[in-house]
Amino acid sequence: MWALSKQSFFSFIYSFLGISICALFVLVTGLFTWYLDGNLLDQGFAEMGVFFDLMPWFFILFSPAFAMKLWAEEIEQGTLVLLRMPGLSAWDLIFAKFFGMLALVLLCMFPTLLYVWSLHSLALTGTSLDMALVLGQYLSVLLLASNFLLLDALLAIAVPKQALAYVLGLMGNVFFWEFPNLFHWEYLQWTTHFADLSRGLLRLEDLSFFLGVDLLLLAGIRLLLAKRYFL
């Protein structure tokens, strides 16, 4: 499974799409965090809110590209079934792809540790950066990323055409991010749970929500693979 996960990771990162997304992520977050109006330096206090407020929109826009490359492309080219090597179960395939996509997110996020170090170094004595809060914010990003990645994987399997999979993934991300807010369904609001974790509130309710969504999406992916591709 880990060999397949590594293969998925490198097949994406060595592609033009993978390099472009990582470079664009660092460029855009850097501009919003340090240069454009409302940046960290304009706020006058040591906290990373500006940066982490961008993260949901990054995943809304770019996680469909991860799923398009690692799922829709494999299905469209007919190589998905070939990945079922002897001793590799359907669950191994699912988790290998998922961990490959999550590793891509971690790679994009890694350079942002420089933002944390820079802000910590610039902070005045007595106003140092709250590292516990920052860790909670990074955790919230990873949990949210897992939801978006699995949602987009499910949609890419359902519609295994790369361009259509991206568009459908983008629409699905916006729908699940914004739709519960219209009806004030607080427990179903990704925005609410993400905001709570981003404030450093490690509540069981928020953690169980994101993990519960992951489990539902994983089950949906497994059922869809079994129904459509007999995996």
| Arithmetic mean of pLDDT, 9-33 | 84
* CA angle in degrees (0–180, nearest 5) for 86-64-6: 35
Q: In whole angstroms, give the CA distance from residue 43 to residue 41.
A: 5
The pLDDT tens digits of the residues spanning 87-129 come to 678 888 899 889 988 998 898 889 888 888 877 777 655 456 7
Whether the predicted pLDDT of 225 surpasses 80 = yes
CA-only gyration radius of the chain, Å: 19
Instruction: For residue 217, name the pLDDT band (cuts at 50, 70, 90).
Output: very high
The answer for residues whose C-beta is within 8 angstroms of residue 91's C-beta and 6 or more apart is 222
pLDDT tens profile 29-74: 888 877 776 666 666 555 777 788 888 998 999 899 988 888 888 8
